[in-house]
Amino acid sequence: MFISLTLNGKMIADLADADMTLYAFLRKHHCYSVKCGCETSNCGLCTVLLNDKPVLSCSVPLGRVSGCRVDTLEGLEEEAGEFIGFLAEQGADQCGFCNPGYVMNIIAMLREIPDPSDEEIRQYLSGNLCRCTGYESQTRALRNFLNARKGKTEGLDLDAKVYGEELGKRFSVLSEDELLRSISERAGNAAGSAGAENPTAGAGTPMMGGGTPASSADGSGTTAGPAVCADSSDSTSGKGADA
């Protein structure tokens, strides 16, 4: 089957199998932002713009798009760059796998509804599945972007930053030795808390016959580990502990 279409502003002509999908064709032509996460038209990761309308490319037969215009994120980076930083600031990108599909639908939404309400945002993006977030981060990010675009500052939710950002800032001013010491102290505190909850934790486990825990080969006295199995029925005599 001969197919020709305009992909990200460039005319493409190619031979393709009659059962090829638009998704497979786009991946063949190096549009790797287009992903397939479900193969059942449910996740939204494969969203592209077909004649300016968002479609699920995994469900579009290639033969139907001959002569059409197709846009992927590779061709819309400048337009996406206007708001993508707001998504990152709110932690809405996390693993990033679903981001291209989200961005394509956001572009389509903003073209159709320049100033959407929060409910319109949720409704427009409802077809995009994300396993990392609770979806509120995307709504916050877009609300911040829309308010900033209108020159408003009072509506910006600037406190909702990426989780752990303050921790990263605190560690970034430490020297390597200070960082290692801080990590060691935290590990010690965690071990101490575990020991308080379980007083027997870390105590030497008596050997059978009333002996002491095994020591290291170098005679340093360092415990090499428990000398008996946790299962009391597993002993060298082959009998249970009550034998």
Least confident range of 32-46, 63-77, 128-142, 222-236: 222-236
Contact 188, 201 (CB under 8 A): no
- Residue 158's pLDDT is 58
Contacts of 154 (CB under 8 A, 6+ apart): none
CATH ID of 76-159, from 1.10.150.120, 3.30.70.330, 1.10.3720.10, 2.60.40.10? 1.10.150.120
Confidence category of residue 180, pLDDT binned at 50, 70, 90: confident
Place 195 in a pLDDT band, splitting at 50, 70 and 90.
Answer: low
CATH tag for 1-71 (out of 2.60.40.420, 3.10.20.30, 1.25.40.10, 2.60.40.10): 3.10.20.30
Q: What confidence score (pLDDT) does residue 67 get?
A: 95
Where in the chain are the domains?
1-71, 76-159
Per-residue pLDDT band for 130 (boundaries 50, 70, 90) equals: confident
Residue with tokens 């206007």: 82
Model confidence at 87: pLDDT above 70: yes
How high is the pLDDT of residue 213?
43
pLDDT in tens, 17-69: 999 999 999 999 999 999 998 888 889 999 999 999 999 999 999 999 999 99
Closest by CA to 71, choosing from 123, 29, 99, is 29
Amino acid type, 63: G
Confidence of residue 236 (pLDDT cuts 50, 70, 90): very low
| Lowest model confidence (mean pLDDT) among 92-96, 154-158, 160-164 | 160-164
Average of per-residue pLDDT across 121-134:
87
Find which of 152-156, 211-215, 234-238 is predicted with most confidence, using mean pLDDT: 152-156
- Provide the pLDDT confidence category of residue 194 given band limits of 50, 70 and 90: low
Highest mean pLDDT out of 33-37, 201-205, 216-220 = 33-37
- The pTM for the full model equals 0.62
Domains 1-71 and 76-159 equal at CATH topology level: no
pLDDT of residue 161: 47
Flag whether pLDDT at 73 surpasses 50. yes
Residue 74 has a pLDDT of: 96
